Amino acid sequence: MRFPLPVAALLAIVMIAAPAAAEVADFLGVPGPIAFDGKSYRLAWTSQPSQNYTKQEYVPAGQRVESYDQMLLVELVTGGVTVGEAVGAQVDMLKKRKASDPLVNFEVLQNNATKEVVLDFILSGKDSKGEAIVEWNAYRYAPYSDASGKSGVLLFAISQRAYGDENATAFLRGLKQLRPGQRAALAKADLPKPTR
C-alpha cells in the first residue's frame, strides 16, 4: 500500500519518535540492568535536578516506578558534600516526618573501614482511597571521587513497598526477616560506577 508523501513522512516521524520517547536518559553512565540479590533491575526513571545532583531509579521487568514493589536507586551528589552531611539531611527529614507519620523508624549503621553509612528506614502514607502504603528503604552512602577531581557522595539504595492495608500489615510482619538479608546484600554489593 502506498501513502501520499505527507502521510508517509508523518508515519516515519511517529515510528522514529515512539521508541525514543520510551527511552530513559542515563545521566550517570549506569544504564543497567543492575543485578541485585538474584533479580535484574532496569533503568526506569532519571532526574537531574541540578548540575551536581543526579537520581536514577531501576525496577524489575513488569514494574513501574509509580507503583513498584522493589526498586534500586543510584544517586550522585558532587560539590564537596560529605557522607555525614548527606546522611544528616535524610535523618533530619525523617525526624520532621515523624510528626505526621508515626510509623517512621530509622537506624544508622556506620562502616568505619569504608567510611560508608547505611541508613535503614520505614515510611508510610495513604493512597487516594485511604489505603496504607508502607515503604522500607536501605540507603548506602559512600564517598565518591572521580579522575577529574569531582568529589561527593554516591548513594546506592534498595526500596520495597506494600500497597493496601492487608498487604502493608503482612509486609511489616515480614520486615524482621527481610531486613538483615537485604542490608547484608546491599553492603556487599559492588557499587555502581558512574562514568559521566
Q: For 102-128, how does the pLDDT look when each residue is reduced to its tens digit (9 = 90+)?
A: 999 999 999 999 999 999 999 999 999
Total domains, the chain = 1
Q: With respect to residue 194, please indicate whether it lies within any of the assigned structural domains.
A: no
Q: With respect to residue 5, please indicate whether it lies within any of the assigned structural domains.
A: no
Residue-range definition of the domain harbouring residue 121: 25-188
Q: With respect to residue 131, please indicate whether it lies within any of the assigned structural domains.
A: yes
Provide the CA 67 distance to its chain's centre, in angstroms.
Answer: 13
Q: Output the pLDDT for position 181.
A: 95
Q: With respect to residue 11, please indicate whether it lies within any of the assigned structural domains.
A: no
Q: Output the pLDDT for position 140.
A: 98
**Ranges of the chain whose pLDDT falls below 70:** 1-22
Q: With respect to residue 95, please indicate whether it lies within any of the assigned structural domains.
A: yes
Q: Output the pLDDT for position 19.
A: 40
DSSP string, 58-109: EE-TT--GGG-SEEEEEEEEESS--HHHHHHHHHHHHHHHTTT-TT-EEEEE
Q: With respect to residue 193, please indicate whether it lies within any of the assigned structural domains.
A: no
Residue 68's CATH number: 3.40.1000
Q: With respect to residue 105, please indicate whether it lies within any of the assigned structural domains.
A: yes
Q: Output the pLDDT for position 21.
A: 42
Q: Output the pLDDT for position 188.
A: 94
Computed over its alpha carbons, how large is the radius of gyration of the chain?
20
Q: With respect to residue 60, please indicate whether it lies within any of the assigned structural domains.
A: yes
Q: Output the pLDDT for position 22.
A: 55
> Do residues 56 and 27 make contact, with C-beta atoms less than 8 angstroms apart?
yes
